[in-house]
Amino acid sequence: MKKSILLACLFLISAGVTAQTKKWTLQECVVYALENNISIKQSALDVESAEIERLDAIGNFIPTLNGRGSLSSNGGLSINPTNNQFENTRFTSFSAGLTSGLTLFDGLRNLRQLERAKISRLASQYSLEQMKDDIALFVANSYLQVLFNKQNLEILKSQNTITQNQLNRTQDLVEAGVLPKGDLLEIQATAANELQRIIVAKNNIQISLISLAQLLLIKDYENFDIVEKDYEVLGNEILANSPYQLIEKAKEERYEIRIAEEQKLLAEKDVQIARGAYYPTLSAFYNYNTRYADNDNFDRDFTRQLYENDGTSYGLQINIPILNGFATRNQVKRNLINVERAEYRLEQVELDLEADVYQAYVDAQGALEAYEAALVALSAQEQAYLYATERFDVGLTNAFDFSQSKVRLENSQTELLRTKYDYIFKLKVIELYFGIPVTDLKF
């Protein structure tokens, strides 16, 4: 028994450690954000509200049915409901009935309302999908920033290790009288500066991790971490498309355009609904009534009175609009203005999308050029650093020049990281504009 309890405790401890040390991949972060982000949940509620609006519109085609009942005690001179005679007495009466109604024609407004509700639901769905794309980009950008900070720290640590080794070697050479003491002081200053930069880099990692965790609504900042994966540059082939091809594809795929188009359809549908008020409304009705009173002159019991005192009425009712203070005409005019606004909004969205896609294309091309330039610069700095190291080892250059060469190498390594992840992110923006689903983005 004790052995079983001990094994169970060890299992729980192991599970706790595993949970605490879980590291998140980029894909996991994106999926988690799509499932838990508050803005996405709010957009999902908009879709639910639009569905309720659609059900309301369907309900307008269904007959209404309402029941009513009344129990009262009357005293003094009042009408006996069973014989419709005035009586000066006190009696108790009961009445009940059912009423049903159905709109047969209302200028097609019920039909237009249903069509509008379907359009509204589609627009809400598009807004939800656009929100998912935006959140996925935010998460990817934040994730890549953490990754950059982590790899930048590794660069600083690696360079500091080299500096420490060089410091020990220089100290031996200074003590042996081969190098001046100034070289030792210069390398000591370089080592101290690198340690300060390492501290700053660690803080940057924590800040970026907290920022990512907040975006994911994860509150356990201390145990939150990501997988330290070196992402490769994928998706270069998308830049083989011209900006105009990307723009045309974006117009077909992007939710901004679809949302604006649906809003225009909504405005046009509102005009049709408003114009429906010009037409007569035709409805059908059916009523059933029955009553009971305890002062019935025929001594009928409750059930018999309800059976014999019942009655029905049914028929058609038409309402013809003649004059309503120009309210219908003015509402139509307002909605026509809204249609024009929606048309202008759609035109503006198309112009903005063209500008955004073209800018994203230029940014991606610039990021690619910067990344390629950083690769060349790093190769050159690595060769320069090796040459400087060889010269320093044989005393042909001083510690200051050697440290400067090392700093330039470190800056080149950092710049390569920065341009690489900047280029990866800008490629993801292009892929989204091209209509690639957020779950299929290449990383």
Domain identity same for 205 and 74 = no
* Residue 45 domain-assigned (yes or no): no
Helix axes 255-275, 327-393, angle to 10 degrees: 170
Domain identity same for 298 and 394 = no
**Do 371 and 423 form a contact (C-beta atoms < 8 A)?**
yes
Looking at residue 342, its pLDDT comes to 95
Averaged confidence pLDDT in the chain:
85
Alpha-carbon distance of 320 to 155, in angstroms, equals 82
**Do 371 and 421 form a contact (C-beta atoms < 8 A)?**
no
Show the tokens assigned to 223: 């145990």
Which of 287, 283, 359 minimizes the C-alpha distance to 98? 287
Which phi and psi angles does 63 have, rounded to 5°?
-60, 150
Domain identity same for 396 and 286 = no
Side-chain-side CA neighbours of 234 within 13 Å: the count stands at 7
Encode pLDDT of 131-149 as tens digits.
Answer: 998 898 899 889 888 988 8
Domain identity same for 155 and 211 = yes
Decide if pLDDT at 256 tops 50: yes
Which phi and psi angles does 90 have, rounded to 5°?
-110, 130
Residues in CB range of 47: below 8 A, 6 or more apart: 121, 124, 125, 128
Domain identity same for 210 and 76 = no
Encode pLDDT of 280-313 as tens digits.
Answer: 999 999 999 998 888 766 777 888 888 888 899 9
Q: Which CB contacts under 8 angstroms, 24+ apart, belong to 359-362? A: 360/426, 360/429, 360/430, 360/433, 361/239, 361/243, 361/246, 361/430, 362/243
Alpha-carbon distance of 71 to 54, in angstroms, equals 39
Binning pLDDT at 50, 70 and 90, where does residue 4 land?
Answer: very low
Residues in CB range of 99: below 8 A, 6 or more apart: 64, 65, 66, 67, 68, 285, 286, 287, 288
Rounded to two decimals, what is the model's pTM? 0.79
* Residue 29 domain-assigned (yes or no): yes
Looking at residue 345, its pLDDT comes to 95
Which residue has better confidence, 90 or 246? 246
Encode pLDDT of 343-379 as tens digits.
Answer: 999 999 999 999 999 999 999 999 999 999 999 998 9
β-partners of residue 74 are: 91
Mean pLDDT of 53-69: 93
Domain identity same for 168 and 31 = yes
* Residue 49 domain-assigned (yes or no): no
Domain identity same for 307 and 353 = no
Looking at residue 83, its pLDDT comes to 67
Query: How many other CB atoms are there within 10 angstroms of residue 330's CB atom?
Result: 12
Looking at residue 85, its pLDDT comes to 74
Domain identity same for 141 and 99 = no
**Do 174 and 188 form a contact (C-beta atoms < 8 A)?**
no
Looking at residue 3, its pLDDT comes to 43
Domain identity same for 9 and 147 = yes
Alpha-carbon distance of 20 to 95, in angstroms, equals 70
Mean pLDDT of 316-327: 89
Domain count for the chain: 2
Side-chain-side CA neighbours of 163 within 13 Å: the count stands at 29
Decide if pLDDT at 5 tops 50: no
**Do 403 and 392 form a contact (C-beta atoms < 8 A)?**
no
For 62, which DSSP code?
A: S
* Residue 87 domain-assigned (yes or no): yes
Decide if pLDDT at 9 tops 50: no
Looking at residue 403, its pLDDT comes to 78
Task: State whether residue 416 is helix, strand or coil.
Answer: helix
The secondary structure element, H or E, covering residue 381 is helix 327-393
Residue 348, domain extent:
2-36+106-279+321-440
Query: What's the full length of the chain, in residues?
Result: 443
Decide if pLDDT at 389 tops 60: yes
For 226, which DSSP code?
A: B
Decide if pLDDT at 23 tops 90: no
Domain identity same for 234 and 357 = yes
Show the tokens assigned to 117: 């509700």
Could you tell me what percent of the chain has a pLDDT over 90? 40
Decide if pLDDT at 2 tops 50: no
Q: What is the CATH number of the domain that holds 309?
A: 2.20.200
Mean pLDDT of 10-29: 61
Mean pLDDT of 227-233: 77
Show the tokens assigned to 64: 């209404």
Query: How many other CB atoms are there within 10 angstroms of residue 104's CB atom?
Result: 11
